Chain A
């Protein structure tokens, strides 16, 4: 379903002369300035720092005859305000990096982050009944046998995590890696209530536990 294309954006992009363009730009920014300021403030710092970021965002949105704004596409159902927030936030981060010299990560963390979340979830839920402690693998003081066992458990956990759906992997990551509340997770995933989050987490953990049991991992000595 196509989302509505904002009229003030349309006026800006279709403006025939510079004065019409400026008037349309003023109107667009007036409609969204509160949202953009919220984004600028959300990255911390004092009022001046937020205003610097805000000004940077406006400058970038204007750049090359509003090239970034022209890239907005409502045909896939994206809401303009949401797109604008995501764009403004990334611009604010770019501004921050330009000052402090840190580069954005160019790659993902891969499955290791999801595995860490799954380990924590299982340990929180089942205590020492299902130890899959990756630290054992790296600990030189631990015996070869214990290291081998830990590697086996981790390999089994990896297989079970890979059998989850993408949404299930995302859910345990949001909860057990990012420590988000069930309410926040429900908002991000579009679930009706936090209860739905709890129920799905319970179901995922049961699935993982049973999967590990089928692979012979039931006690600390397995």
Chain B
């Protein structure tokens, strides 16, 4: 860990929030931010004030994908405070199963593959964010073990993430299901 004494300039901050930094540079900036109260406050406030201007990358995607994708607003209660999440059209990982109302037995999670994926992680949570189960591996299928006990009629949320070799991530986003 370096002694990161010099403050970040505005261009560093804007580039960092634009999510376009190479990994090594991002590490340098985040190393500094962890140690510098002033710069961290500037980054947090800039992100808050700039709002959606720097959120999500403007990545060129094939026209068919762009036409098929849509921006969704999903309200998910987290603890006491509801939050809204915008599903970025440019970064989805396809989710195939489960969906809707599903039986507990043989609960199998299936999602799409991502190019240059290093590892996949899948998680199952309650709607308030309590993690029930998580696993990771190189396959795009995972089966919930019998040892994880769930209550019929419960609403749950699952999502899968692909961690790419360059350190970035793609996600299925939150997938709501209900147990039969």
Binding site for B on A (CB under 8 A): 1, 3, 35, 38-39, 42, 71-73, 76-83, 85-87, 89-90, 104-105, 107-111, 113-114, 162, 165-167, 169-170, 173-174, 178, 180-184, 187-188, 190-196, 198-199, 202
Measured between beta carbons, the chain A residues less than 8 angstroms from B5 are 107-108
Binding site for A on B (CB under 8 A): 1, 3-5, 7, 10-11, 13-15, 17-21, 26-28, 30-50, 53-55, 57-59, 76, 78, 81, 83, 85, 88, 91, 121, 123, 125, 129, 131, 134, 157, 159, 161, 169, 171, 173-174
Most chain B CB within a 10 A radius of its CB, from A35, A79, A195: A195
Most chain A CB within a 10 A radius of its CB, from B43, B47, B58: B47
Measured between beta carbons, the chain A residues less than 8 angstroms from B36 are 108-109
Measured between beta carbons, the chain A residues less than 8 angstroms from B59 are 1
Are the C-beta atoms of B50 and A85 separated by less than 8 Å?
yes
3 smallest beta-carbon distances between A and B, as pairs:
A77-B20, A78-B14, A83-B14
Given contacts A42-B49, A82-B54, contact A72 B11 (CB under 8 A): yes
A127 to B154, CA, bound (A): 30
A182 to chain B, nearest CB (A): 6
Closest to A190 in B: B19
Are the C-beta atoms of B10 and A90 separated by less than 8 Å?
yes
